[in-house]
């Protein structure tokens, strides 16, 4: 979770579930991800039984034509959207495998169809789709499920392009 004070985090925390835990971390930081793994592992009733599920929902986006979008912007979007998903999955996979759990990766309709002025976002979501397909094939014999959610019109439903985030 990027922001523990966010409404979505508050709503999840208000469920008071002993099976749900929100953890604030930066998916771009291997150290923070490993710390999150330890927090989760220590909160499990029986760590040997593993963890039931992981939802990779971190994401950022930008607008801009290819010619006018900096390479740094491409790298930043890829670091969160693609490499953050890979980093989180690889780190939590041993716990998920033990439970024969599931990985849910939030992608986008733009992970299947390109869109002008959205190339950094599109290429990272295409990558999430391919990563998820590869992972699904590898995990199937082990009883681990891998799903992809492809929301549409996500911008209108989130604060991705609020005045504060632009």
pLDDT in tens, 14-32: 888 877 878 889 999 999 9
Residue 90 clears pLDDT 90, i.e. is over it: yes
The percentage of the chain sitting over the pLDDT mark of 70, rounded to a whole number, equals 90
Pairwise CA distance, residues 29 & 69, whole Å: 24
Among residues 74, 121, 137, 161, which one is catalytic?
A: 121
What distance in Å separates the CA atoms of residue 76 and residue 58, rounded to the nearest whole number? 13
Pairing of strands 145-149, 53-56: unpaired
Residue of 98 and 9 predicted with greater confidence: 98
Residue 154: its pLDDT value, please?
Answer: 61
Q: How far apart are the first and last CA of the chain?
A: 20
Say how many CA atoms lie within 13 Å of 93 toward its Cβ. 15
Single out the residue of 44, 26, 150 nearest to residue 88, CA to CA: 26
Q: What are the sequence ranges of the domains in the chain?
A: 46-157
- Give the Cα separation of 2 and 84 in Å (integer): 12
Q: What is the pTM assigned to this prediction?
A: 0.87
The confidence score (pLDDT) of residue 22 equals: 82
Helix, coil or strand: residue 84 = helix
The confidence score (pLDDT) of residue 18 equals 78
Q: What mean pLDDT comes out for the span 36-56?
A: 95
Half-sphere exposure of 48 (CA within 13 A, CB side): 0
Higher-confidence position of 57 and 161: 57
According to the model, what pLDDT value does residue 11 have?
A: 87
Q: What is the mean pLDDT of the chain?
A: 91
Confidence at residue 23, expressed as pLDDT on a 0 to 100 scale:
84
User: Is 74 a residue of the active site?
Assistant: no
If you average pLDDT over residues 36-49, what whole number do you get?
A: 94
Average pLDDT over residues 66-93: 98
Q: What is the pLDDT of residues 100-155, one digit of tens each?
A: 999 999 999 999 999 999 999 999 999 999 999 999 999 999 999 999 999 987 66
- The CATH T-level fold of domain 46-157 is Rossmann fold (3.40.50)
């Amino acid at each position: 979770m990027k922001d523990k004070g966010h409404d979505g985090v508050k709503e999840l925390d208000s469920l008071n579930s002993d099976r749900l835990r929100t953890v604030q971390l930066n998916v771009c930081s291997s150290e923070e991800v490993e710390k999150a793994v330890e927090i989760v592992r220590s909160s499990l009733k029986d760590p040997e039984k593993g963890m039931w599920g992981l939802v990779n929902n971190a994401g950022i986006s930008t607008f801009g034509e290819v010619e006018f979008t900096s390479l740094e912007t491409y790298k930043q979007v890829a670091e969160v959207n693609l490499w953050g998903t890979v980093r989180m999955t690889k780190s939590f996979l041993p716990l998920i495998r033990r439970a024969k759990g599931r990985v849910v990766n939030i992608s986008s309709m733009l992970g299947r169809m390109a869109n002008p002025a959205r190339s950094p976002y599109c290429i990272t979501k295409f990558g999430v789709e391919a990563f998820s397909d590869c992972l699904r094939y590898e995990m199937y014999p082990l009883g681990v499920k891998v799903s992809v959610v492809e929301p549409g019109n996500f911008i209108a439903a989130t604060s991705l392009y609020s005045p504060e985030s632009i």
